């Protein structure tokens, strides 16, 4: 079974980003970039399925600028076999990404498509669901456990207040949640080997996909800064303050 994994290049989770001076975009010039953490979990899961002899090939794909090659090479160092970059300078939105991935699913015919549950930059949580609809595939979102059972996938989903287990017919789309696995670190020999692995480049036009944005962002702003707390001298004073604020 071939597994297609979609990975996004995003600002590293440790970077504190701010809007630019006109508040029209986030200022990410020079920021440290990384694989979206949920996508890293998707790569890890695909590589583990290959190590178990369930997957035969792991193909990673990213849609975006040429610089996304860096994240594709990082995924190859984690154990993916081959990479595809759909190169565009467009302001990408989930529907455009889902259309590009749909075309690649038609070309590659994977048995399973893995995505992160959401990108930590846009917090959209839309691409996997849109892709499943475009392909007409079953979907298991927010997966915290994935077991392949013949031509089916048993997916445990993290939902409000508990867990839900689904049995999906393959091919299917699965999006990964935080507890699915703990991604490995790449070893130096694997980083070296990744340089030799195939990385194909194409454009949305070659896939006949229109990536024109459908949504326009009007403004970015930071949340209001937190007010400083108040120190009280003892428990009595604390209770008095809570009563005064009608919190008890």
Contact positions toward ligand AMP, by CB under 6 A?
Answer: 6-8, 36, 38-39, 62-64, 92, 94, 97, 115-116, 118-119, 122, 124-128
* Nearest to ligand AMP of 118, 156 (CB atom): 118
Q: What burial class does residue 184 get, using C-beta atoms within 10 Å of its C-beta: 0-12 exposed, 13-18 middle, 19+ buried? A: middle
* Nearest to ligand AMP of 67, 187 (CB atom): 67
Structure tokens at 7: 């990975």
Three-state DSSP at 126 gives coil
* Nearest to ligand AMP of 127, 156 (CB atom): 127
Total residues belonging to the chain = 248
Give the residue at shortest CB distance from ligand AMP: 116
Structure tokens at 174: 């699965």
First-to-last C-alpha distance (Å) of the chain: 59
* Nearest to ligand AMP of 38, 137 (CB atom): 38
Give kind and range of the element (H or E) at residue 97: helix 94-108
> Could you tell me the smallest distance in angstroms from the CB atom of residue 153 to ligand AMP?
17
* Nearest to ligand AMP of 50, 117 (CB atom): 117
> Could you tell me the smallest distance in angstroms from the CB atom of residue 178 to ligand AMP?
12
Number of other residues whose CB lies within 10 A of the CB of residue 151: 11
Structure tokens at 247: 């919190």
* Cα 117 from Cα 140, distance rounded (Å): 10
* Cα 46 from Cα 57, distance rounded (Å): 9
> Could you tell me the smallest distance in angstroms from the CB atom of residue 21 to ligand AMP?
26
> Could you tell me the smallest distance in angstroms from the CB atom of residue 144 to ligand AMP?
15
> Could you tell me the smallest distance in angstroms from the CB atom of residue 121 to ligand AMP?
8
């Amino acid at each position: 079974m071939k597994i297609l994994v979609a990975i996004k290049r995003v600002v590293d989770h440790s970077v504190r980003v701010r809007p630019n001076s006109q508040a029209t975009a986030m200022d990410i010039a020079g920021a440290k970039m990384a694989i979206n953490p949920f996508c890293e979990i998707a790569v890890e899961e695909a590589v583990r399925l290959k190590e178990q002899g369930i997957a035969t090939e792991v193909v990673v794909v990213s849609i975006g600028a040429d610089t996304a090659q860096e994240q594709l090479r990082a995924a190859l160092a984690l154990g993916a076999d081959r990479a595809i970059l759909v190169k565009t300078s467009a302001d990408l939105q989930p529907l455009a990404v889902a259309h590009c991935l749909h075309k690649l699913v038609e070309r590659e015919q994977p048995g399973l498509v893995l995505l992160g549950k959401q990108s930590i930059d846009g917090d959209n949580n839309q691409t996997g669901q849109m892709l499943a609809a475009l392909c007409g595939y079953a979907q298991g979102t927010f997966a915290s456990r994935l077991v392949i059972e013949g031509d089916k996938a048993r997916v445990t989903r993290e939902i409000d207040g508990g867990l839900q287990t689904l049995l999906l017919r393959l091919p299917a789309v699965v999006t990964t949640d935080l507890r699915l696995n703990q991604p490995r670190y790449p070893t130096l020999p694997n980083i070296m080997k990744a340089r030799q692995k195939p990385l194909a480049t194409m454009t949305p036009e070659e896939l006949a996909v229109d990536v024109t944005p459908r949504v326009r962002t009007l403004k970015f702003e930071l949340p209001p800064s937190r007010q400083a707390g108040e120190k009280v001298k003892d428990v009595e004073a604390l209770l008095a303050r809570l009563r005064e604020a009608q919190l008890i």
